[in-house]
Amino acid sequence: MAPLLEIDNLRTQIRRRREAVHAVDGVSISVAPGETLGLVGESGCGKSMTVLSVMRLLPPGGQIASGRVLFDGRDLAGLPRREMAGLRGDRIAMVFQDPLTSLNPTMSVGAQIAEAYRLHRNVSVAEARERAVEVLDLVRIPSARERAREYPHQFSGGMRQRVVIAMALACEPDLLIADEPTTALDVTTQRQILDLFDELRARFGMAMILVTHDLGVVAGRADRVSVMYAGKIVESAPAAELFRRPRHRYTQALLRATPDGSHRSNGRLENIPGLPPDLASPPDGCRFADRCAHATGECRAELPVLAAEVPAREDGAHPAGGEHVVACVHPVPAAGPAHAADRPAAPDAGTGMVAAADAETPVLAVRELVKDFSAGRGLVPGRRPVRISAVAGVSLDIADGETFGLVGESGSGKSTMARLMVALERPTSGSVLLGGKDLARLSRHDLRTERRGLQLVFQDSAAALDPRMRVGSILAEPMRLQHMGSGASRRTAVRRLLDEVAMPSRSAERYPHEFSGGQRQRIALARALALRPRVIVADEPVSALDVSVQAQILNLMVELQREHGLTYVLVSHDLSVVRYLTDRIGVMYLGKLVEIGPRDAVSERPLHPYTRSLIEAVPAGELAAAEEAPAADWAAAPGGPGELDLRGTELPSAANPPSGCRFRTRCPLVQDVCAEVEPPLREAAGGHAAACHFPLRPLPQAGQPVQAG
């Protein structure tokens, strides 16, 4: 079958005042009709520039220097602007990473879709608006006709992404390009979006290019995967073959940097040292050589070219879906262990973690914590404010030196819990005890003193660091506000903090915008350490980072915990990260703690249907041991395997939570009692407890709710 899209030796440059950045340097890929190609690699490797070259949407200074981009036989690189505009959005459509910036906040979503449709179809306004409702219904927007009249800010992140997909599909394109379409979405929303792509591709027979830095996203979704590094394709193969037997050292390093169920917190993730090369003056040889432990002089002397690799098969046949090509002088041996799950066990990292039950007095305790917010006050005259139930009666203990993971979907109350724990929010009722002291009852002076021992690391390090202050001032500010030491001693402490997070001392003189995302997160960790806290609450600290940078930050957190005896509360929607780093896991749903227990018990033998649905939603590539995971308990559970996912369902509003069990509106095991009685948290064994009337394994049927900790 002739390719629908064929990119031949594409070179794209971004011209600056004194130099040109070779963002895409000799890339050749093809996509057949109906095929899905996964394009993966770290940030800055050229993935987005490649697809933006196809769309002719390059940033200022960007231009296609040479090569061809053939779409259905027509070279898009030299196509007149008017003809390209006619193809863009009609036969070729693109879904961008951030749906909020892709949508006009002043127009209803229906009007925006209708406008895009009318640009390519000679239809009336009424027909275009009807088409908008059709595609909104196609992407499973509930009450599509009514919601078409709403504005982007009235939709959740996942729903906004559906709106952008609906706009892209309005003209039923032949090729859909999705650039990081699930970044920062929780696992259930991510699965819904990826399942939607699969269904729409099958329905319309369209081809897809799925651009991502998350290997789990393309695992099980793409037909073929091409790996990019420093502007070049370094490996390409059928997806199953590449994940089972990667040949390029960079592909292997990406897989090994991904936390999974087989790599526990007694070992280190294998991160990729160093940084990608400067594409304004790339090296002559292999561009990965300076970061590769297997590089030799031969690697640095000459740039390797893509060559076919015969996979290790008994029959000697090529895998289905095309050949396996790799550009590497010293590829991974075909017969050797290469997958992330096959890596040898790393030496014990010695995190010093302890179980909560071993501590007589927890370092941090939450007792019947409730937080309600009021929304809508003053917006409409005479309308009473709406009460938002963000946290509803949560109790748990955190032991000294342990790492506790708090997981759940967006809107489950995790971030509110984090802010309550560090006293950035005052609870409506209940208490947060640090070393036995109730933070809500302390005076302002005493609270200021006690909060030295309790620090928060925010999700968005760029927004959390003052752009007008140098890094040295940012790190010294907490010590200055707490009147700790002299100016000279604080400068010494700043140098020590930068060294602890593996940042050069000269970083103190630079501003936050001069650093990468991973470097900014290191600076955020250094600031959290400035007052030598006992507890650090980290709210989604690695959610938007590449897997290689994520591995560096996670390893750093483990090292800092061992060195300083820290206690962590890790708030995340990424179960692979939580499985790697934590001792115990608590699962939140709509403000309630629905399950809590040791990491392995919760992740491998969940009691609550919601917990199981979260685990099943994790992309296949993120948990390499998923195929070998014990399934006996799940197979015997009511509902059976695969029937407890949350696809096609939305989290209820916290302004009007369901009666009884808050999960009942999405649970396939629901019965009448679930609407009438709120299930208490009951313990099974070994500190593993769940709040469910019909758990996946038997729980005690009588007795008082357990103390979660």
Picking from 519, 529, 463, 462, the residue whose alpha carbon sits closest to that of residue 494 is 529
Spatial separation of the C-alpha atoms in residues 562 and 211, rounded to whole Å: 37
CA distance 179 to 595: 35
Considering only CA atoms, give the Rg of the chain: 26
State the residue for tokens 């979660």.
708
Strand order in the sheet with 5-15: 20-31, 5-15, 62-71, 74-75
For the chain (length 709 residues), average pLDDT per consecutive 10? 92 89 94 95 91 94 95 93 94 89 93 95 95 93 92 87 93 94 81 88 93 86 94 95 92 84 58 86 93 93 86 45 86 63 39 43 92 70 77 94 93 92 93 92 89 89 90 95 91 94 91 87 94 94 83 90 94 86 94 95 92 82 41 43 52 88 92 94 89 85 48
Position 396, amino acid: L
The residues of the chain that CATH labels 3.40.50.300 are 356-582
Which stretches of 210-286 are DSSP H helices? 215-218, 239-244, 249-256
Cβ neighbors of 273 (< 8 A, separation 6 or more) are 291
pLDDT, position 178: 94
Which pairing describes strands 62-71 and 5-15: parallel, antiparallel, or unpaired?
Answer: antiparallel
Distance of alpha carbon 70 from alpha carbon 7, whole angstroms: 6
Could you give the residue ranges of the DSSP H alpha helices within 56-156? Answer: 81-87, 99-102, 109-120, 125-138, 144-147
What span, in angstroms and rounded, lies between the C-alpha atoms of 463 and 2? 47
Closest by CA to 304, choosing from 234, 357, 228, is: 234
Q: What phi, psi does 70 have (nearest 5°)?
A: -95, 120
Q: What are φ and ψ of residue 51, in 5° steps? A: -75, -30
Please list the residues that pair with 403 across neighbouring strands.
Answer: 568
Residue 56: both structure tokens together: 């002719």
The answer to whether the beta carbons of residues 339 and 624 sit under 8 Å apart is: yes
Separation CA 698–CA 656 (nearest Å): 31
Distance between CA 533 and CA 89 in Å, rounded?
52
Residues sharing a CB contact under 8 Å with residue 449, sequence separation 6 or more, in sequence order: none
E strand intervals along 450-555: 454-457, 535-539
The SS3 of residue 683 is strand
Residue 628: predicted pLDDT: 42
Distances (CA, A) of 562 to 345, 348, 350, 585: 19, 12, 7, 20
What is 356-582's CATH topology?
A: Rossmann fold (3.40.50)
Reference 542, options 183, 96, 99, 48; nearest CA is 183
Q: Which residues of 389-427 are buried (b: 16+ CB within 10 A; e: fewer)?
A: bbbbbbbbbbbbbbbbbbbbbbbbbbbbbbbbbbbebeb
b/e per residue 366-379 (b: at least 16 CB within 10 A): bbebbbebeeeeee
> How far from chain centre, in Å, is Cα 606?
22
Give, for 617, the enclosing helix (H) or strand (E): helix 609-617
Of the candidates 239, 206, 231, which has an alpha carbon nearest to the alpha carbon of residue 95? 206
Q: For residue 381, give both structure tokens.
A: 């005259």
- Structure token digits, residue 699: 């729980």
Nearest CA-CA partner of 402 in 572, 565, 262, 577: 565
User: Please, are residues 626 and 262 in contact by the beta-carbon 8 Å criterion?
Assistant: no
User: Which pTM was predicted?
Assistant: 0.82
CB 94 within 8 A of CB 102: no
Question: Rounded to whole angstroms, how far apart are CA atoms 201 and 208?
Answer: 8
Q: Which single residue is written with the structure tokens 């073929």?
A: 224
Characterize the bridge pairing of strands 567-572 and 403-407: parallel
Q: The tokens 């971004």 sit on which residue?
A: 14
Exposure on the CB side of residue 271, measured as CA atoms within 13 A: 17
CA–CA separation, 656 and 195 (whole Å): 29
Q: State both tokens at 589.
A: 């749903």
Q: How far apart are CA 231 and CA 39, in angstroms?
A: 12
| Structure confidence at residue 630 (pLDDT) | 41
The strand pair at 307-309 and 224-229 is best described as unpaired
Residue 684's CB: how many other CB atoms inside 10 A? 18
Tokens, residue 545: 């980072």
